[in-house]
Amino acid sequence: MIVAARHPAAALSGRVELVFRADRGGTLLAYSRVSAPLKIVRPFALDGGRALVQIVMLGPGLCGGDTCALDVTVESGARAVVMMQTASRILGMSQGALATQTVNLVVAPGGQLEYYPGLTIPFADSRLEQRVSVSAHRQSRVGILESWAMGRATRHEYLRFRSLSSRTVVSIDGQSVFADALEIQPDA
């Protein structure tokens, strides 16, 4: 069993704020604000006027008490791709500890956003609570792909995390059109 030891005062609160804007037939990253343990790789231009931003998590992963927030706004006419560069690891933590992650995606009319957070791996004795909120205009396009590992089988950690809670809500023009909830407590 791997349990990351960390003094409660040392919990991390990472944040990424991104605003994409249409510019001369392409898309530029008009605003960014980032705090550790998260970092971004400089934007790359892709075909079709899209801009790609990769998010990197420094360190081994999320520990108990850590929080991460991602806020992405895609303005009218902009086309963005946002992805995690590597898998997100939720490390083992002491009883009662919790790691949290919030994702807020806002897409204006004529905007396009593809969001690929990558594989999330909850390690043995971990707890994660994630909330994803998408607010899109009816004339925008949004694609989200999530993937979860249920623990490393080779290390006999399959379903050995304490709990995994992920809720996703997609709203178009202020009306909820899709909701998904993943609630797993293997010991229950």
Tell me the per-residue pLDDT of 50-74, one tens digit each, with 9 for 90 and over: 999 999 998 889 999 999 999 999 9
DSSP code string of 103-172: EEEEE-TT-EEEEE--EEEEPTT-EEEEEEEEEE-TT-EEEE--EE--S-GGGT-TT-SSEEEEEEEEEE
Q: Which of 44, 48, 113, 34 is nearest to 74 (CA)?
A: 113
Token duo for residue 165: 């809670």
Average pLDDT for the chain: 92
CA pseudo-torsion sign 175, 14, 167, 43: positive
Q: What is the pTM (predicted TM-score) of this model?
A: 0.91
pLDDT, tens digit (0-9, with 9 covering 90-100), for 6-29: 445 468 899 999 999 999 889 999
